[in-house]
Amino acid sequence: MSRGANVAARRRMLLCCWLVVVGGLLWRAVDLQLVQAGEWRAEAERQHRTTGVIPAARGMIMDRSGLPVALSHETFQVSVAPHEVRDTTHTVEVLADALGVPTARARAPFESSRRWVPLQGRYPPDARDALAGVRGVYVERELRRFYPHGDLLQGVLGAVVDGHGAGGVEQAFEEALQGFPGTEILARDSQGRPIPGDTWVVEPPRSGGQVVLTLDADLQEIAHQALQQALEETGARGGDVLVTDPRSGEILAMASLKDGAQTHLGAINTPYEPGSILKPFTVATLLSTGRATLADSVDAGNGQWRKAGRTITDVQSPGHTDLAHALQVSSNVGIAKLADRLTPAEQYEGLRDFGLGAPTGIDLPGEVAGSLRRPQRWSAQSPASLAIGYEVGVTPLQMAMAYGALANGGTLMEPRIIREVRDSAGRTIRSADPRAVRRVVSPEVAREVTEALVGAVEDGTGGRARLSTFEVAGKSGTSRAHAGGVYERGAYYASFAGFFPAEDPQLVVFVKLDRPRGEYYGGATAAPVTRATMEAILATHAPPLDRRALAALARRQAIPGEMTPGAGGVSGQVTGPVEVAALHDNGLSPSAGRSTGTRGSTSHFAAHSDGGTVPGLDVRGWDEREFVLPDLSGQTPRRAARQLHGLGLVVEWAGPEHVRATDPSAGALVTPGDTIRLLGPPGRSAAAGARFDE
Residue 135 falls inside a structural domain: yes
> What is the spatial distance between Cα 191 and Cα 72, in angstroms, rounded to a whole number?
34
Residue 235 falls inside a structural domain: no
Q: In the structure, how many helices (H) and strands (E) does the chain have?
A: 20, 28
Same domain flag for 286 and 183: no
Residue 226 falls inside a structural domain: no
Same domain flag for 349 and 447: yes
Same domain flag for 387 and 286: yes
Degrees, nearest 5: CA angle 681-687-688: 135
Crossing angle of helices 279-288 and 332-339, rounded to 10°:
30
How confident is the model over 353-395, as pLDDT tens digits?
999 999 999 999 999 999 999 999 999 999 999 999 999 999 9
My answer on whether omega of the bond before 505 falls inside 30° of 0, hence cis, is no
How confident is the model over 665-676, as pLDDT tens digits?
887 777 766 778
Per-residue DSSP letters for 309-326? TEEEE-SS---EEEHHHH
Same domain flag for 296 and 377: yes
Q: For strand 164-166 and strand 159-161, is the pairing parallel, antiparallel, or unpaired?
A: antiparallel
Same domain flag for 324 and 425: yes
Buried b (16+ CB within 10 A) or exposed e, 106-142: bbbbbeeeeeebebeeebeeebbebbeebebbbbeee
In this predicted structure, what is the pLDDT of residue 192? Answer: 52
In this predicted structure, what is the pLDDT of residue 603? Answer: 35
Same domain flag for 180 and 311: no
Q: SS3 for 687?
A: coil
> If we measure between CA atoms, which residue out of 419, 403, 410, 584 comes closest to residue 500?
403
Residue 170 falls inside a structural domain: yes
**Full residue range of the structural domain in which residue 165 is found:** 52-213
Domain boundary among 412, 440, 460: 460
Neighbours of 596 (CB within 10 A): 9
Domain boundary among 460, 483, 503: 460
In this predicted structure, what is the pLDDT of residue 406? Answer: 97
> What is the spatial distance between Cα 379 and Cα 609, in angstroms, rounded to a whole number?
53
DSSP bridge partners of 522: none
> What is the spatial distance between Cα 367 and Cα 30, in angstroms, rounded to a whole number?
72
pTM of the model: 0.74
In this predicted structure, what is the pLDDT of residue 128? Answer: 78
How confident is the model over 329-353, as pLDDT tens digits?
999 999 999 999 999 999 999 999 9
CATH number at 328 reads: 3.40.710.10
In this predicted structure, what is the pLDDT of residue 68? Answer: 92
Q: For strand 304-307 and strand 486-500, is the pairing parallel, antiparallel, or unpaired?
A: unpaired
CATH number at 204 reads: 3.90.1310.10
> What is the spatial distance between Cα 249 and Cα 524, in angstroms, rounded to a whole number?
28
Residue 239 falls inside a structural domain: no
Residue ranges, the chain, pLDDT below 70? 1-3, 32, 38, 40-49, 188-199, 556-626, 637-639, 641-642, 645-648, 650, 653-657, 672-673, 681-694
Neighbours of 380 (CB within 10 A): 10
Q: Counting Cβ atoms within 10 Å, is residue 633 exposed (0-12), middle (13-18) or buried (19+)?
A: middle
> If we measure between CA atoms, which residue out of 318, 95, 51 comes closest to residue 199?
51
Same domain flag for 285 and 176: no
> If we measure between CA atoms, which residue out of 372, 456, 440, 444 comes closest to residue 402?
440
Q: Please count the structural domains in the chain.
A: 2
Its sign, for the CA torsion 280, 286, 288, 292, is negative
DSSP 8-state class, residue 272: B
DSSP bridge partners of 480: 492
3-state helix, strand, coil in the chain (%, to 5): 35, 25, 45
Domain boundary among 460, 492, 516: 460
Residue 288 falls inside a structural domain: yes
Residue 685 falls inside a structural domain: no
DSSP 8-state class, residue 278: G
Residue 242 falls inside a structural domain: no
In this predicted structure, what is the pLDDT of residue 212? Answer: 96
Q: Counting Cβ atoms within 10 Å, is residue 83 exposed (0-12), middle (13-18) or buried (19+)?
A: exposed
